[in-house]
Structure 1
């Protein structure tokens, strides 16, 4: 008997990725489009539909039992809508209904991208075996998700753990979310790069002005590049420590493209955490890199749709598919 599959979508401000995922979390087929994040809402939806159409054209599509979506947030899983901060044209966009239509009526589940990454890390990654964890996606934006009492805790609308919009600087810059001084406004990749450029760092001959290029410069000792990452690390540490005090997590798992900076990010992050996680019950909090890599959003979206409460982790998806 052939194993059933789940179609997964990972929707962010930079790319829309899709995959067919089996019960072991293995990706059997991929599709991807750039996110036309500055275009109108229907143009963004067309990119999503193109990814689904590419997956649906494969013979394996006949074995797909459901579609799981991990989207940049905020999302409203109960209403099936999304309002990603980094996709301005989508405000209360009825993504679940539109994907269900594009997928021929298959069941569709929605979680925030941070919750999807958390599901993947708790199933197969660095949070495996931990009953209380925070998992972060630090990329174009900053998202997060929680494991509490051994189960994924998405919250009523699917946004629990959305650390990117905790305010850590009351006098900081306005955030597109409507707040001020949010973690995302300091620690996301584009903001790390912007701050370095504002401070006088300049890209090399290739013109690469990304956070990855800033990380390379920091690794080579450029003081402005290092300062930009240290500021990002401080913001992340403040948000992580606040979460730990509230819900007593014992591990924070950091993934996403910015985590690829390695010690340029993690060394100052761990130092800053010592300054913020000072109460006795959070002093043992550890911070580690994610293990599921760039596929975390896809694997987690699949896991979340077949086990929406997070119960069972790997068992949940395996049993369902």
Structure 2
């Protein structure tokens, strides 16, 4: 296809699979982008999962989704996975699943559907979903970001998903927003500074006594000074990263999703202010920054959009 918006294929549904650090989700999705609720299936993953265990759970989730709707015409499979991925070898090695590195996706899911199987980074799938059914609808140059326990992302450039040489374009969380001190590379990344766990840890280092992102959100609503500073620190880092991406790629829009992006009602507003302040060029300041236009089905819709491009 010529752009990121899927055209109509000769079947009515696709199988969508999302492989994450704690779970794998699978569902049958219509070509109109409707998730068939009775098909939604989940299996656990987790750091203790080795390659055999992960393969079994991914396969079981996909089989269960298909078995729930045996009368539907399913003609393709789309798989989004936490990264890194390796599209040339068709394998995935999610950072949070170190024992399962090198999972061969075609071997795991082959033969389930009489049709093509497409693989992409989960951030790329989120960008596809936002472009198809969400906040990036109609944009030809855009970025989708997820701010949660980590920070990830994906690009649509010139109307097409941009995977890069190995499929990992969009790993915004591993770019730098702080000076590297004493060789501590990871600690200086956007993910370390802006994601939920890093923000909570920073707040605790300043004397805050909460434990979780939900606690931080409650403290923010109550006007706690440390919580307010912690949220601002996260939003500022995200805004600075967006300014860099918008400058490099001349983006029209950025959609921000993920649970930690909801830590404060004005989180997106703070990101906008930071991005404006960090942008040197007017074209970068014109980039529209918004919250996600999707619900919790975003990863599955993105995998479905990927399948529909095959």
Q: TM-score, normalised by structure 2?
A: 0.87
Is the contact made by 1:96 and 1:109 (CA closer than 8 Å) also made in structure 2?
A: no
SS in 1 for 2:131: helix
Unaligned runs of 5+ in 2: 1-9
Distance in 1 (alpha carbons) for counterparts of 2:19 and 2:199: 22
Aligned residue-pair number: 299
Distance in 2 (alpha carbons) for counterparts of 1:63 and 1:274: 47
* Aligned residue number for residue 284 of structure 1: 286
Is the contact made by 2:55 and 2:103 (CA closer than 8 Å) also made in structure 1?
A: no
Is the contact made by 1:173 and 1:185 (CA closer than 8 Å) also made in structure 2?
A: no
Unaligned runs of 5+ in 1: 204-208, 309-321
* Aligned residue number for residue 139 of structure 2: 130
* Aligned residue number for residue 116 of structure 1: 125
Residues 152-199 of structure 1, C-alpha deviations (whole Å, 9 max, x = no match)? 222232222221111222326978xx7551111222222223333333
* Aligned residue number for residue 197 of structure 2: 190
* Aligned residue number for residue 79 of structure 1: 89
Distance in 2 (alpha carbons) for counterparts of 1:215 and 1:125: 25
Distance in 2 (alpha carbons) for counterparts of 1:66 and 1:48: 16
Cα drift, residue 98 of structure 1 = 1.6
Distance in 1 (alpha carbons) for counterparts of 2:206 and 2:114: 51
Q: TM-score, normalised by structure 1?
A: 0.85
Residues 50-109 of structure 1, C-alpha deviations (whole Å, 9 max, x = no match)? 3123213223375221221111111112221112122222323223322226x3675321
* Aligned residue number for residue 266 of structure 1: 268
Go from structure 1 to structure 2 and tell me whether the alpha carbon gap of 1:286 and 1:5 turns closer, same or farther (over 3 Å shift): same
Moved more, 259-268 or 16-25: 259-268
Which of 137, 153, 169 pairs up with 1:144?
Answer: 153
**1:97-112 equivalences in 2 (<5 Å):** 97-100=107-110, 103=112, 107-112=116-121
* Aligned residue number for residue 21 of structure 2: 13
Distance in 1 (alpha carbons) for counterparts of 2:218 and 2:46: 28
Is the contact made by 1:167 and 1:180 (CA closer than 8 Å) also made in structure 2?
A: no
SS in 1 for 2:26: strand
Moved more, 37-46 or 21-30: 37-46
Which of 161, 165, 190 pairs up with 2:170?
Answer: 161
SS in 2 for 1:60: coil
* Aligned residue number for residue 200 of structure 1: 207
* Aligned residue number for residue 298 of structure 1: 300
Moved more, 32-41 or 73-82: 32-41
